[in-house]
């Protein structure tokens, strides 16, 4: 008498799907948002006039507003990172990627937006513990990720790509801050 065929349980199927999705995401998380300086990073994208030069600042008021708002928000977050690093020096190595990415993002947003964002206002007080400060940064990163992804959907071309890149980096930074915190 033949054996009946083995059936996967629903739990096993879901677990396998989750592991496969996680394994596929690992290379994406590891790459970050560091493009080659002379390429946009988008496969098939054409370079603007003058080869790999930065496109001219936008003159569209909606695009300028979106990029200026994003630059202001990222600058505020960068200041928050600095304040956390000052208050909790042991966290500085863990915050280094965020500091570096945000500095680059602010520069690119200013260049493409063609305007200087207003000076960030006063920062809210920092949490009292290092773990709470990391959780605060992770939450702020995730909030800005959603805001910048939404803004990217409202513009097109290079501004949309830049805002989407910033949103992706913020999402990855939020995940890395949460992961580091959970490991402690």
CATH tag for 58-183 (out of 3.40.50.620, 1.10.10.10, 3.40.50.2300, 1.20.1260.10): 1.20.1260.10
Under DSSP, the state recorded for 94 is: H
Give the pLDDT confidence of 143-184 residue by residue, as tens digits.
999 999 999 999 989 999 999 999 999 999 999 888 644 444
Angle (CA) 59 63 69, round 5°: 120
CA 169 – CA 152 distance, rounded (Å): 14
Domain regions of the chain by residue span: 58-183
- Average pLDDT estimate for 9-32: 47
- Average predicted confidence (pLDDT) for the chain: 76
């Amino acid at each position: 008498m033949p054996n009946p065929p083995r059936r996967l349980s629903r739990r096993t199927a879901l677990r396998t799907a989750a592991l496969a999705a996680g394994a596929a995401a690992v290379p994406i998380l590891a790459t970050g948002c560091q493009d080659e300086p002379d390429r946009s990073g988008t496969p098939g994208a054409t370079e603007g006039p003058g080869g790999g030069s930065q496109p001219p600042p936008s003159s569209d008021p909606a695009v300028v507003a979106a990029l200026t708002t994003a630059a202001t928000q990222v600058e505020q977050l960068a200041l928050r990172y600095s304040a956390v690093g000052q208050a909790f020096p042991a966290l500085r190595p863990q915050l280094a990627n965020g500091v570096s990415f945000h500095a680059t993002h602010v520069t690119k947003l200013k260049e493409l937006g063609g305007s200087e964002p207003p000076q960030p206002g006063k920062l809210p007080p920092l949490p009292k513990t290092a773990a709470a400060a990391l959780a605060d940064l992770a939450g702020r990163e995730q909030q800005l990720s959603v805001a910048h992804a939404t803004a990217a959907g409202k513009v097109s071309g290079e501004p949309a790509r830049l805002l989407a890149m910033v949103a992706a980096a913020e999402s990855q930074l939020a995940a890395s801050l949460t992961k580091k915190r959970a490991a402690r």
